[in-house]
Amino acid sequence: MPQPAIAETVTDLRATVRAWKREGLSVGMVPTMGALHDGHMSLMKLALEKADRCVVSIFVNPTQFAPTEDLDKYPRQLAKDLACLADVGVHLAFTPPAAEMYPAGFASKVSVGGPSAGLETDFRPHFFDGVATVVTKLFLQAAPDLAVFGEKDYQQLCVVRQLCRDLDIPVEIIGAPTVRDAHGLAMSSRNAYLDEAGLAVARQLNKILRGTAAAIAKNGDADGETVRARRTLQQAGFEGVDYVAARDALTLKEWQPGREGRLLAAAWLGKTRLIDNVEIPAEA
Ligand code: PAF
């Protein structure tokens, strides 16, 4: 497999993308923080199906981490990540150093309302401003025609869609289904923090969410079922549950029976925070 070209500067990224566009080629982007796994690979494959060229950014974005979070510990494995890009056939890796993205004196931020309210924001108030800021920069730098984001980070996907709609950013946002292991655990770079015992508990998360979503679809009792799900997660071994919430699949406002829904959760295993979400089916 040919190795991807590598751009470390915005100037080099723009030069490559401009050359593609001069040839009439369409460009897909997959923004990542590296530590790539099968979930990311599926996003890249989708981008390559939809566009002639694919650029993947690998940048652990400091502005979406609070000082108490795992920025320093976040897995970094550039050589391995570049091998993944080569396997899939990605054309360009954008791997900027932090000073390229946030040079001395950087003083702006992008803040999105609507779907960023509640859920993650209740526990990580800094998070979506950091994501929106870096995604806006990446879109302005690379000017892709489309970008692929995983449904695993469902609220992030909704926020990025809102961002592009509100700011007239001409990038088509494509949501890709979550990739799971054989036991239903959603692929996540943070799974690397878990030992065997932790993985066994983590694998309960999706199962419990699916049972809860089916129950909500059947009886319409989102409040009762999410309270029960919280208890079940704790009994399964999750030490803390930040939220289990039934939301409208498009707006992320409270779910109403009869509407397309999404059940979202975040829970802790030791120092590892896991998130997942499932569809609330229209009928059980
Ligand atoms: O989902 C992620 O990995 C990050 O939030 C993103 C979109 C790459 C922005 O840093």
Distance CA 64, CA 57 (A): 16
Provide block-wise average pLDDT over 10 residues at a time, the chain (284 residues): 94 98 98 96 98 98 93 93 98 98 98 98 97 98 98 98 98 98 94 94 98 97 98 97 98 95 97 96 69
Q: Look at the block and give the residue holding tokens 């923080």.
A: 33
In a domain, 261, yes or no: yes
Shortest-distance atom of ligand 1 to CA 153: 1
Residue 194 and residue 172 share a domain: no
Residue 155 and residue 34 share a domain: yes
In a domain, 182, yes or no: no
Shortest-distance atom of ligand 1 to CA 57: 8
Query: CATH code at 20?
Result: 3.40.50.620
b/e map 157-176, b = 16+ CB within 10 Å: bbbbbbbbeeeebebebbbb
Residue minimizing CA distance to atom 1 of ligand 1? 32
pLDDT score, position 283: 64
Name the β-bridge partners of 24: none
Helix (H) or strand (E) holding 55, with range, is strand 53-58
Residue 157 and residue 197 share a domain: no
Cβ of residue 33 lying under 6 Å from some atom of ligand 1: yes
In a domain, 259, yes or no: yes
Q: Cα 34–84–32 angle (5° rounding)?
A: 25
CB atoms within 10 A of CB 21: 14
Measured in angstroms, how far is the CA atom of residue 58 from the centroid of ligand 1? 9
Q: Which of 131, 148, 176 is the last residue of a domain?
A: 176
Distance CA 164, CA 111 (A): 12
Helix, strand or coil, per DSSP, at residue 208: helix
Q: Tokens for 31?
A: 């923004």
CB atoms within 10 A of CB 198: 16
Residue 141 and residue 58 share a domain: yes
Measured in angstroms, how far is the CA atom of residue 119 from the centroid of ligand 1? 17
Backbone angles phi, psi at 176, to 5 degrees: -115, 140
- Overall residue count recorded for the chain in this entry: 284
Cβ of residue 187 lying under 6 Å from some atom of ligand 1: no
Residue 116 and residue 164 share a domain: yes
Q: What is the DSSP string of 240-255?
A: EEEEEEEEETTT-SBP
Q: Tokens for 192?
A: 């690397």
In a domain, 283, yes or no: no
Catalytic-role residue among 37, 40, 91, 126: 40
The model's pTM is 0.97
Measured in angstroms, how far is the CA atom of residue 198 from the centroid of ligand 1? 24
Cβ atoms of 68 and 39 within 8 Å: the answer is no
Cβ of residue 153 lying under 6 Å from some atom of ligand 1: yes
Residue 127 and residue 219 share a domain: no
Residue 118 and residue 93 share a domain: yes
Shortest-distance atom of ligand 1 to CA 189: 3
Domain count across the chain: 2
In a domain, 205, yes or no: yes
Residue 147 and residue 17 share a domain: yes
Q: Which residue in 52, 29, 35, 261 sits closest to 136, CA to CA?
A: 29
pLDDT score, position 284: 47
Cβ of residue 131 lying under 6 Å from some atom of ligand 1: yes
- What is the domain extent for residue 106? 5-176
Cβ atoms of 201 and 269 within 8 Å: the answer is yes
What percent of the residues of the chain are helix, what percent strand, and what percent coil, each to the nearest 5? Answer: 45, 20, 35
Question: Which of 29, 30, 33 is the pocket-test mutation for ligand 1 (most atoms within 8 Å of CB)?
Answer: 33
Residue 213 and residue 151 share a domain: no
Cβ atoms of 131 and 110 within 8 Å: the answer is no
Residue 144 and residue 242 share a domain: no
Query: CATH code at 200?
Result: 3.30.1300.10
Annotation says 91 is catalytic = no
Cβ atoms of 202 and 194 within 8 Å: the answer is yes
In Å, the largest CA–CA distance within the chain is 58
In a domain, 181, yes or no: no
Residue 266 and residue 139 share a domain: no
In a domain, 121, yes or no: yes
Q: Which of 148, 176, 204 is the last residue of a domain?
A: 176
Residue 168 and residue 33 share a domain: yes
In a domain, 118, yes or no: yes
Distance CA 202, CA 274 (A): 8
Question: Which of 42, 76, 153 is the pocket-test mutation for ligand 1 (most atoms within 8 Å of CB)?
Answer: 153
